[in-house]
Structure formats: C-alpha cells, structure tokens
A = this chain, B = another copy of it.
Amino acid sequence: MISRKLYNRISLLRKERDISRKDLAEKIGVNFQTVGYLEREEYNPSLDLAFKISEYFNLPVEFIFSTKPMKPLSQELYDKTKNQ
C-alpha cells in the first residue's frame, strides 16, 4: 500500500508534559529512536502503536494523528473560542 504522509502532535504533547523521548518510549514500550522517527514524521506507526500513544496521553487517535497538517494547538484553541 502506498501510505499517505501522516502528521502528529507527539512532540508538542510530550513537551507540554515535559517528558523526554526516552521516557515516552519506555512508557509505551518502544525504542527511543522510534519516537524520534515518529516525531519527524518519517513513517506511519502501526495502529497498535498509535493506540499506545493515544492511551498514554489519554486523547483520541484523531487528535494526535491526522492526514492533514496540524495547526498549532494555540491557534486551534483560539479558533474554537472565537466560534462560540
């Protein structure tokens, strides 16, 4: 299958919680370089890996990963407040 590029917010979420790649990697049970590859968006994770990350951050898969480029959280939040 020709995979589309997938975007993600892993690095952002990780920084918000101030944990290192190594820590995150240990928590979800993968190699720390694998987290690096993911953050650089160099490949598409397996669904199980996506679930592990989603469970760790306690957020839906669709919030962390997307087929379209991610807006910064700040802007997305601002847009949301504006529309209400």
Residues of A within 8 A of B (CB): 1-4, 6, 29-30, 34, 44-51, 60-62, 65, 67
Contact = CB atoms under 8 A, between A and B. Distances in A.
Contact of A3 (B4, B44, B48, B65): B48
A56 to B, nearest CB: 13
Given A60-B60, A60-B62, A61-B61, A47 B1 contact: no
A61 B47 CA distance: 9
B49 A50 contact: no
Contact of A51 (B2, B29, B48, B67): B67
Contacts of A1: 29-30, 34, 46, 48-49
